[in-house]
């Protein structure tokens, strides 16, 4: 399997809201055929489900939840080539938006992956809520057919999606920018201490999207009720990214 990670992103930094960490980054990832399916949610309903160390990040007073299916490639430690059956697998995230001080980021309710090794590593190293799932991702004439089933806690997704618009870069202060241009995630470590994990990627290239959701219990498994259909849909063909080790928040 080729390691086609785009190392040119290391010099593409002018768009970042803060400087890249000075310490060495440790991992490459490429996210492919990604769907951002977003729903609004009442901040009062969301607040009890997010650790108190992280402030909810709202857009015009509204909180958002995203279900994000995609395929990972180039998943490897820095300097290590991509390996068959290890560096490529489907992934599915349920996330919301938080901030600490002036740094907006992402908080994950769940991350499903079709790789038991990746799940074990992420849980061990980062205490992230990863789960192993059975996943099938198929290319169709129009886009992507995505299926995921997790046994415990039970959660499933069936969605067919495709891009329908011209690619664009989100403009600062727009909703699309708020929902996508984020350069860290927040979580609690194994000792329940908050941390930030920085990432870097180029500006998102998004397209409007269509999606037909026939089953979605991903948020329900996290205790969150969503409407049958998402309110906002975007597609991204590819995004290369690097990540750092977590840093404690004091």
pLDDT one-digit tens code per residue, 105-134:
999 999 999 999 999 999 999 999 999 999
> Which CATH number covers residue 61?
2.40.400.10
Amino acid 85: pLDDT: 77
Q: What is the CA radius of gyration of the chain?
A: 17
E strand or H helix that includes residue 121: helix 116-126
Decide if 239 is inside a domain.
Answer: yes
More confident residue, 204 or 80: 204
Decide if 2 is inside a domain.
Answer: no
Decide if 159 is inside a domain.
Answer: yes
Decide if 101 is inside a domain.
Answer: yes
Strands (E), the chain: 27-41, 55-56, 63-77, 89-100, 103-113, 130-132, 134-139, 144-150, 155-163, 184-188, 194-200, 207-216, 232-243, 247-248
pLDDT one-digit tens code per residue, 148-203:
999 999 999 999 999 998 999 999 999 999 999 999 999 999 999 999 999 999 99
Contacts of 20 (CB under 8 A, 6+ apart): 13, 198, 200
CB burial of 190-221 (b: ≥16 within 10 Å; e: otherwise) equals eeeebbbbbbbbbebebbebebebeebbbbeb
Q: How far apart are CA 97 and CA 83, in angstroms?
A: 32
- Residue linked to tokens 């190293």: 125
Decide if 17 is inside a domain.
Answer: yes
Domain of 173? Answer: 7-248
Q: Mean pLDDT of all residues in the chain?
A: 96
Tell me the sheet residues that pair with 227. Answer: none
Decide if 93 is inside a domain.
Answer: yes
Q: How far apart are CA 133 and CA 111, in angstroms?
A: 10
Average pLDDT over residues 34-59: 98
Q: What pTM was computed for the model?
A: 0.96
Q: In which region does residue 208 sit, left (phi positive, over 0), alpha (psi from -120 to 50) or beta (all else)?
A: beta
pLDDT confidence of 246, banded at 50, 70, 90?
Answer: very high
- Does the pLDDT value for residue 1 go beyond 60? no
Decide if 1 is inside a domain.
Answer: no
Domains in the chain: how many in total? Answer: 1
Amino acid 2: pLDDT: 58
pLDDT confidence of 3, banded at 50, 70, 90?
Answer: confident
């Amino acid at each position: 399997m080729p390691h086609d990670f785009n190392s040119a992103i290391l010099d593409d930094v002018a768009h970042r809201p803060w400087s890249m960490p000075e310490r060495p980054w440790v991992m490459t990832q490429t996210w492919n055929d990604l769907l951002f399916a977003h729903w609004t949610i009442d901040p009062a309903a969301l607040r009890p489900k997010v650790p108190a160390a992280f402030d909810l990040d709202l857009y015009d007073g509204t909180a958002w939840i995203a279900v994000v299916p995609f395929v990972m490639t180039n998943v490897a430690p820095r300097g290590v080539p991509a390996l068959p059956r290890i560096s490529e697998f489907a992934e599915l995230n349920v996330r919301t938006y938080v901030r600490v001080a002036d740094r907006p980021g992402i908080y994950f309710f769940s991350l499903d992956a079709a790789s038991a090794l990746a799940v074990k590593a992420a849980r061990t190293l980062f205490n992230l809520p990863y789960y192993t799932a059975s996943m099938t991702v198929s290319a169709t004439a129009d886009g992507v057919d995505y299926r995921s089933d997790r046994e415990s806690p039970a959660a499933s997704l069936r969605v067919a999606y495709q891009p329908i618009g011209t690619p664009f870069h989100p403009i600062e202060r727009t909703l699309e920018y708020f929902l996508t241009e984020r350069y860290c995630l927040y979580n609690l470590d194994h000792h329940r201490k908050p941390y930030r994990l920085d990432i870097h990627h180029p500006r998102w290239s998004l397209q409007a999207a269509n999606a037909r959701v026939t089953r979605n219990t991903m948020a329900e498994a996290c205790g969150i009720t969503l409407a049958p259909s998402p309110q906002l849909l975007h597609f991204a063909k590819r995004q290369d990214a690097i990540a750092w080790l977590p840093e404690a928040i004091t």
